[in-house]
Amino acid sequence: MKIAIIMGSEGDLPVVKPAADILKELGIEYEVRIMSAHRTPDRAAEFSKNARKKGYGVIIAAAGKAAHLAGALAANTTLPVIGIPIKSTALDGLDALLSTVQMPSGIPVATVAIDGAQNAALLAAQILAVREPELAVKLDERREKAAESIVAKDNEVKALF
C-alpha cells in the first residue's frame, strides 16, 4: 500500500517534505499532490473517493489557515486521514490546528502537531505496519536508533561536567 501526501498549496512543501523523507527512508511508496478544499473541491473529492481503489492505505493532508483539506478528504473516504495543521502568519497555526482537529462525529481525522509532518509520516507508517510486519521491524529499528542517539548525547553531556 502507498501513502498520499496532499497539500493545499505549493507553499506547504517545506513543511511536508520531512514526511516524504521519512516515507522514503522506510521504503514506503508515496505520492505528493496539491489539492485545495476550497479552490479545487471536486478534484479533492474525486481523489479521496478513489484513493482506496488506487492502492492508497493512508492519506496525509497538510493545510494552513482555514485548513479544511483533511476534513474534505475524510468526508469522501473511510481510509485513515492524518491532518497536518500548518503554521500561518495570522494566528501561528492555531486556526489550522482547530480547523483540523474539530471534526464532526462520524468523520474522524487524526491530527498531529502544527507543522508535525514527521509524526504524520510515522503514524501513517504505523497504520500500514499493522498488516505489514517488515515495516513494523523497520519502525522498531528506527526507534532503537533514536534511543541510542539520546543515550550517546547523554553520555556526551555527562562528560562535560
Concatenating the DSSP letter of every residue in 79-145 gives: S-EEEEEE--TTTTTHHHHHHHH-PPTT---EE--TT-HHHHHHHHHHHHHTT-HHHHHHHHHHHHH
State which residues form the domain around 154.
Answer: 2-160
Q: How confident is the model at residue 66 (pLDDT cuts 50, 70, 90)?
A: confident
Report pLDDT for 67.
Answer: 87
As a whole number, the mean pLDDT across the chain is 96
Task: Note the pLDDT tens digit of each residue in 68-101.
Answer: 999 999 999 999 999 999 998 778 999 999 999 9
- Residue range 127-148: average pLDDT? 97
Total domain count for the chain?
1
Q: What is the CATH number of the domain that holds 48?
A: 3.40.50.1970
pTM of the model: 0.94
CA distance 107 to 111: 13
Task: Note the pLDDT tens digit of each residue in 35-60.
Answer: 999 999 999 999 999 999 999 999 99
